[in-house]
Structure 1
Amino acid sequence: MLELFRQKMPLSCLLYGLLERCFSAERLDRIFLDNAKEQYTREILFSTVCDLMLSVVLKIHPSINAAYQKHPEPLGVTVSALYEKLKGVELSVSQALLRDTSEDLSAILDALGFIPEPWLPGYPVRVHREVGGGALPGKSLVVFDPERRLMRDVFPCEDGHAQERRLLGAVARAIRAGELWIADRNFCTEGFLNQLRHHGAYALIRLHRNLPLTEQALFSPSRKAKGGGYWKSR
């Protein structure tokens, strides 16, 4: 049967195998053990919880409860205990899960010979996206790689009413030299812009009217040359 699938649907089998490698149970449980500070494993493994959640994300099942009921093997816990396990997943574990698997997925794209079309040649682009939780009172700041269509990092916050600027200190640690960061005006703070400059990165951010900046003309040795402009603190 497996050989038949390999012959008739080679790309589907390849994708399935790559995803299984990336989200293997051993790897998921290692990420949990390395990053969990308070939560522990007793009756149910973190990899099992991820497997159930993935079946909902991929729309195989409409809910966690449905995935629990359809699981081929008894899980040894009640559905209420399963929901408590999900509710207790720590932010550090969620962040490490995204970072780790994003790196692996990027390596898979390289191995498959994927050549992304650059948004701006010579500059790795990073886009800030704010994600509000539909079911939970939280939000996240996501660092998105638009060329590879991958989320590179996530900065979750349990307080859904918190201002995203509270997370910029943590986001600044993800900046790498040469990157171009694109974001809305809420990210246009003097502190964050200074962090971008400190790390040798660039910004394409909508100017916030409360930011104390003035526009300066670029110096040009030739009077005929047309310079652009840049922003400087008052």
Structure 2
Amino acid sequence: MARVALERAIDPDWVDEVFEASRQRQYPRELLFSTVVEMVTLVSLGLRPSLHAAAKQAGNLPVSLAALYDKVKRTEPAIVRALVHGSGERLQPVVQAMGMEPSLPGWRLRVLDGNHLPASEKRLAPLREQRGAALPGYSLVVYDPDSGLVRDIIACEDAYTQERSATAPLLASAQEGELWIADRNFCTHTIMQGWHDAKAGFIVREHAKHPKLLKVGAMQLCARIETGEVHEQAIEIRQDQAPWRRIELRLDTPTEAGDTTIALWSNLPSTVSAQQIAQLYRKRWRIEEMFQRLESVLHSELRSLGHPRAALLGFAVAVLAYNVLSVLKRSVEQAHRDDSKPALDVSTYHLAVNLRSSYEGMLIALPAVHWTTWSCAEPQRIAERLLELASHLNPRTVSTAKRGPKTNKPKGYVDASIARSHVSTARVLMGTCSPTP
């Protein structure tokens, strides 16, 4: 299943075409960009411990290791974006062929958030004298919670660049029928007006220093949802366009940050109720869950790659691998939908574990030449094949493990000498054991 999806998502010929169409200064010689992506994919999936090990195992690398690392660290951000965006476009028809219910009929959800890469190892000579952490950059990620696919990415080399200033390419590519959901950091007039001018919808949480309002309507109680009461009022930010909407959710229980009210701005038409807008904003947390899976399931943060462009390429390839796992997750859930009560919830982690244990052995039995036909196959045929293979999988081997609710236990302050102390685990356990009768 993984190999069929990989052929569709990152076909080598297609990857080289993307490189040729998006490159600015880079050029291919002996080393094709598809070969680089293939090796980084092996590292992201955990099949190789590092890029160096992947190059060693390749055996037929046409260039030196130094040339390989030079190729990786010069990967242009435009190529990274084209690779993720194009891969999402190639996988979207496959997901639709399996059956996909939109959260809001007539709209395509796009959740926007930023992700900063953690500090890298200081292998680069200019970093060795730096005492602080070396941040290789960050990325703006566009996630579709309905399909489970990452649809776009903006790679930023400067980790100190403000996220808002990097949204210009996303505003330029926004389309009619898209519904953008973002947190309060993107509550600016320029960003929201850009989506509005593109005839796209938006739901953005209100910032304390929100754009200046020309007119504010009366607040009205609309409905009640499971977390609190929903109120709505009309807001006017420009005289030459229709008013927007301000949705206020008054929570029954404060958030962890102590907020008792969550205010949202939206330009959705009145046919979409305030209750629906409040519930749709809750899907923004799906992208946080996706970031957690990227870090825990895949090797999205290659700390050995200290150069910003190399680190961003590693993160982007991990996003491609996540999209493949997301397609496999959906295919298994759809194949066993009628047999599982309650509905099957597939674990991305266990999918990755199964993949690591058998993928390399399968390639020995069936080399890559046997899989090329799936790169140009029709999406309907690919979906049918994935569902057929998924029906033979034991769902218990990949299902999630349900845990009870967590209890909040405040740690409190302790003296540094106590925090640095140590105890013998065996003696602590002996002290808690009841005496043997």
* TM-score (norm: length of structure 1): 0.83
The equivalent of 1:189 in structure 2 is 188
Kindly tell me: are residues 63 and 215 of structure 1, through their superposed partners in 2, closer, same or farther at Cα, counting changes over 3 Å?
farther
Match of 1:232 among 233, 236, 239: 236
Looking at structure 2, the residues matched to 83 and 230 of structure 1 have their Cα atoms a distance apart, in angstroms, of 55
The equivalent of 2:409 in structure 1 is none
The SS at the match of 1:30 is: helix
The equivalent of 1:29 in structure 2 is 16
Q: Confirm whether residue 99 of structure 1 aligns to residue 98 of structure 2.
A: no
Looking at structure 1, the residues matched to 219 and 187 of structure 2 have their Cα atoms a distance apart, in angstroms, of 21
Question: Which 10-residue stretch deviates more, 154-163 or 136-145?
Answer: 136-145
The equivalent of 1:70 in structure 2 is 57
> Cα deviations across residues 162-200 of structure 1 (Å, max 9, x unaligned)?
001111222211222232211111111011111122122
The equivalent of 2:39 in structure 1 is 52
> Cα deviations across residues 122-154 of structure 1 (Å, max 9, x unaligned)?
332110021212346211111111111111111
The SS at the match of 1:105 is: helix
**Greater RCO, CA 8 A, separation 6+:** 2
The SS at the match of 1:26 is: helix
RMSD over equivalenced CA pairs, Å:
2.2
Question: Which 10-residue stretch deviates more, 150-159 or 208-217?
Answer: 208-217
Q: How far off is 1:121 after superposition? A: 3.6
Looking at structure 1, the residues matched to 43 and 180 of structure 2 have their Cα atoms a distance apart, in angstroms, of 32
Looking at structure 2, the residues matched to 157 and 230 of structure 1 have their Cα atoms a distance apart, in angstroms, of 36
The SS at the match of 1:228 is: strand
Larger Rg: 2
Looking at structure 2, the residues matched to 140 and 38 of structure 1 have their Cα atoms a distance apart, in angstroms, of 21
Looking at structure 1, the residues matched to 151 and 104 of structure 2 have their Cα atoms a distance apart, in angstroms, of 18
Looking at structure 2, the residues matched to 215 and 39 of structure 1 have their Cα atoms a distance apart, in angstroms, of 52
Q: How does 1:91-170 map to 2 (within 5 A)?
A: 91-111=77-97, 113-116=98-101, 118-134=102-118, 135=120, 137-170=136-169
> Cα deviations across residues 15-39 of structure 1 (Å, max 9, x unaligned)?
4223213322111111111111101
The equivalent of 2:67 in structure 1 is 81
* Gap runs ≥5 in structure 1: 1-11, 220-226
Q: Match of 1:77, as an amino acid?
A: V
Looking at structure 1, the residues matched to 204 and 235 of structure 2 have their Cα atoms a distance apart, in angstroms, of 11
Looking at structure 2, the residues matched to 151 and 77 of structure 1 have their Cα atoms a distance apart, in angstroms, of 32
Kindly tell me: are residues 35 and 55 of structure 1, through their superposed partners in 2, closer, same or farther at Cα, counting changes over 3 Å?
same
> Cα deviations across residues 32-91 of structure 1 (Å, max 9, x unaligned)?
1111110111221101000000001111011101111111x3212222221111110111
The SS at the match of 1:119 is: coil
Looking at structure 1, the residues matched to 196 and 37 of structure 2 have their Cα atoms a distance apart, in angstroms, of 38
State, as a whole percentage, how many aligned pairs show the same letter: 36
Kindly tell me: are residues 170 and 21 of structure 1, through their superposed partners in 2, closer, same or farther at Cα, counting changes over 3 Å?
closer
The SS at the match of 1:217 is: coil
Match of 1:40 among 27, 38, 53: 27
The equivalent of 2:171 in structure 1 is 172
The SS at the match of 1:173 is: helix
Q: Match of 2:43, as an amino acid?
A: V
The SS at the match of 1:101 is: helix
The equivalent of 1:61 in structure 2 is 48
Q: How far off is 1:218 after superposition? A: 8.0
* Gap runs ≥5 in structure 2: 121-134, 221-230, 239-437
The equivalent of 1:6 in structure 2 is none
